[in-house]
Amino acid sequence: MFPNIKTRVMGSRMKKIIITVMSVVLVLGTAYRGLAYRPTADQILRKTVKLNRHLTSLKVLIKTTIFNDVHDENIIEIPEELYFKEGGFFRSQRHFSEGEDIIIQNGRQSLAVVSHDAYIDDRRIDTVFPFIFFQTSTEKLLDILSFLGVDTSVVTFDRIDKEIIFVIGNRNEKIPGSHLWIDKKRGFPLRFVGHITSGEKLTVLRAEYMGYTHVKKRFWLPTRIEYYRNDTLWIICTLEDAFPNDALSESFFELPSNVNPYRPLMNFLNVKE
């Protein structure tokens, strides 16, 4: 009698062990399949395009903090206005005591006039924001990303603050290319990294899009953008107010016929270069 009881107890324990092992294998298998599945850039960007699909124009007032710049002070704070209009129109106006710095973008043409031109080509990083946030289809966004140097055929995973992030673009240090980091849950653009050259010098430019907020209960915008140059914090832009879908004339974004003193901004490198 007692051996039979012992056998039943051992059999019950063995059954529990087998069930536990099978459960662990099932969980690990499901997790592996989840990690192994890698969506395409087109699939990832569908959420991004939907974020602001009814946004046709935008005026943004920001406080801009510049660190270790060529100006007299190591840290300066200035007001800046940003203007966007669908169709690839963008204008930035920074107000310094000695005058204005202006960037105008019309489609894929970008010109700038600044009081200190030592880092004028680095201002190309400013133009990424309107490119990403004002596209009406994934096809157009994919095309723009290619123009910005992003190899959209490459998708990998990474983390920001322990959150899993999609990364679109080549990150091979030997072959400089741009890459865009996208929030997996909401489709928010979180980071852009691009490379430019001035002479023979390679510069890595990075933008961090942070603190997303719902503007007018309809549109998503970051409340803070940090710009880095070779991993050194360069500029912080903090949102103060936003005016979506106000009328903006295209003439406000017209490129001057006489480009002097305006200078074209350099494009990001891509893997083909």
User: What CATH number does residue 192 fall under?
Assistant: 2.50.20.10
The letter for the amino acid at 229 is R
User: Do 241 and 205 belong together in one domain?
Assistant: yes
**Torsion angle of the four alpha carbons 223, 156, 121, 260, in this order, in degrees rounded to the nearest 10:** -90
| Residue 195 pLDDT class (50, 70, 90 cuts) | very high
Residue 208 has pLDDT above 50, yes or no: yes
Domain presence at residue 53: yes
Q: Which pLDDT score, from 0 to 100, does residue 63 have?
A: 98
Q: Which pLDDT score, from 0 to 100, does residue 32 have?
A: 44
Spell out a b/e string for 62-99, using b for 16 or more CB atoms within 10 Å of the CB, else e.
bebbbeeeeeeeeeeebebebbbbeebbbbbebeeeee
Identify each DSSP E strand in 132-178 by its residue range: 155-160, 163-168
Residue 97 has pLDDT above 80, yes or no: yes
User: Do 8 and 89 belong together in one domain?
Assistant: no
Q: Which pLDDT score, from 0 to 100, does residue 238 have?
A: 98
Domain presence at residue 271: no
Share of the chain above pLDDT 90, in %: 59
User: Do 22 and 88 belong together in one domain?
Assistant: no
Domain presence at residue 269: no
Structural domain count, the chain: 2
What backbone torsions phi and psi does residue 33 show, to the nearest 5 degrees?
-60, -35
User: Do 32 and 49 belong together in one domain?
Assistant: no
Site of tokens 């209960």:
217
Q: Is 171 exposed, middle or buried (CB count within 10 Å of its CB: 0-12, 13-18, 19+)?
A: middle
Q: Which pLDDT score, from 0 to 100, does residue 201 have?
A: 85
| Residue 36 pLDDT class (50, 70, 90 cuts) | low
User: Do 86 and 203 belong together in one domain?
Assistant: yes
Residue 189 has pLDDT above 60, yes or no: yes
User: Do 75 and 100 belong together in one domain?
Assistant: yes
Q: Which pLDDT score, from 0 to 100, does residue 27 have?
A: 45
Q: Which pLDDT score, from 0 to 100, does residue 14 have?
A: 62
Q: Please state, in angstroms and rounded to a whole number, the distance separating the CA atoms of residues 11 and 240.
A: 68
User: Do 113 and 246 belong together in one domain?
Assistant: yes
Residue-number span of the structural domain to which 6 is assigned? 1-37
User: Do 64 and 190 belong together in one domain?
Assistant: yes
Residue 193 has pLDDT above 80, yes or no: yes
